[in-house]
Chain A
Amino acid sequence: MASDSALRLSRIRRPLGWALLALVPAWAALVWTAPLDSVQGVIQKILYVHPPLAYGAYLGFVITAVGGALYLWKRSEVYDQLAVAGAEVGVVFCTLMMVTGPIWAKGTWGQWWTWDPRLTLTLLLWFVYLSYLLLRSLTEGSERTARFAAVYGVAGTALIPLNYFAIELAGGRAAHPENLERGSMDPAMWTAFGVANLAAFAAFLYFLVLRWEVEVRRARVVEAEAQHP
């Protein structure tokens, strides 16, 4: 018998799945038809996947902090489960961001990686939340771990603004392109970029809710096994 939380999450997940199925073909069509960049050519189209993955990673880590803070306040394990889901989906998005970025770099700079402030901080951010997941997987089910993880998750978000503003903070020494600003692209490129962000956001929410549901169900199965070994 599924818990109320698992059933509620299951009901939220379905419309998100339909929204995602509708957005992915629109995303693909707009990426295909978006005008070619006069300098970079077709490789610039990685723009419609790499930054949306970065925003998804940031969002996942913020959700980990929010879930952790709510857990510390309310002491309800459902918030701790949300924090775990946010961290895992955030790490998936962050990993893909760190794969698509070097693909663009290889085609544009001629090298996969450089120790630029943004790239270095992104790698650090990835390690921080990968460590969070390792910590959780090695010490499953303890309240003490949940409390420590909540504080760790909240503290980890300090890296997000540092990561986002790394290029400005580097003061011209950054190799990574600057953050996008309105008017810096053709309107058709902006439309494609907007829909790409919507599709990535729908994918993020779908995975988050599904992962949260898995965590809720897993805790319930562990609890049932503990009561009737």
Chain B
Amino acid sequence: MSYAIAAYAVTLGAFAVYGWLLHRERRRLERED
């Protein structure tokens, strides 16, 4: 069970962090434009 949970937690966590970083960069560039 813990292996399956780890796989989903890593994927969803990484997606959330990647999405947040992209949005932060987009907002920064929007302000500079």
The chain A residues found within 8 Å of chain B, CB to CB, are 1-2, 31, 42-43, 45-46, 49-50, 53, 92, 95-96, 99-100, 103-104, 106-107, 203, 206-207, 210-211, 213-214, 217-218, 220-221, 224
Determine if B3 and A214 form an interchain contact, defined as CB atoms under 8 angstroms apart. no
Tell me which residues across on chain B come within 8 A of A203, comparing CB atoms: 15
The chain B residues found within 8 Å of chain A, CB to CB, are 1, 3-4, 6-8, 10-11, 14-15, 18-19, 22-23, 25-26, 29-30, 32-33
Distance from B16 Cβ to chain A, minimum over Cβ atoms (Å) = 11
Determine if B33 and A96 form an interchain contact, defined as CB atoms under 8 angstroms apart. no
Question: CA of A196 to CA of B26 in the docked complex: distance in angstroms?
Answer: 28
A103 contacts which of B6, B14, B32 (Cβ < 8 Å)?
Answer: B6
| Number of cross-chain contacts by CB at 8 Å | 66
Determine if B22 and A49 form an interchain contact, defined as CB atoms under 8 angstroms apart. no
**A42-B33 in contact given A99-B10, A207-B18 (Cβ < 8 Å):** no
A53 contacts which of B11, B25, B26 (Cβ < 8 Å)?
Answer: B11
Determine if B30 and A217 form an interchain contact, defined as CB atoms under 8 angstroms apart. yes
Determine if B14 and A2 form an interchain contact, defined as CB atoms under 8 angstroms apart. no
Task: Say whether chain B's binding surface is mostly helix, strand, loop, or mixed.
Answer: helix
Tell me which residues across on chain A come within 8 A of B10, comparing CB atoms: 96, 99-100, 103
Determine if B11 and A104 form an interchain contact, defined as CB atoms under 8 angstroms apart. no
Question: CA of A31 to CA of B10 in the docked complex: distance in angstroms?
Answer: 16
Q: A210-B23, A218-B29 are in contact. List 14 more A-B contacts (CB 8 A).
A: A2-B33, A42-B1, A49-B7, A49-B8, A96-B14, A107-B3, A206-B19, A211-B22, A214-B25, A214-B29, A217-B26, A220-B29, A221-B32, A224-B33
3 smallest A-B Cβ distances: which pairs? Answer: A107-B3, A217-B29, A100-B7
A104 contacts which of B3, B22, B26 (Cβ < 8 Å)?
Answer: B3
Tell me which residues across on chain A come within 8 A of B18, comparing CB atoms: 92, 207
Determine if B30 and A43 form an interchain contact, defined as CB atoms under 8 angstroms apart. no
Question: CA of A107 to CA of B8 in the docked complex: distance in angstroms?
Answer: 14
**A50-B29 in contact given A42-B1, A210-B19, A210-B22 (Cβ < 8 Å):** no
Determine if B4 and A96 form an interchain contact, defined as CB atoms under 8 angstroms apart. no
* Most chain A beta-carbon neighbours within 10 Å: one of B4, B6, B19, B33: B4
Tell me which residues across on chain B come within 8 A of A99, comparing CB atoms: 7, 10-11
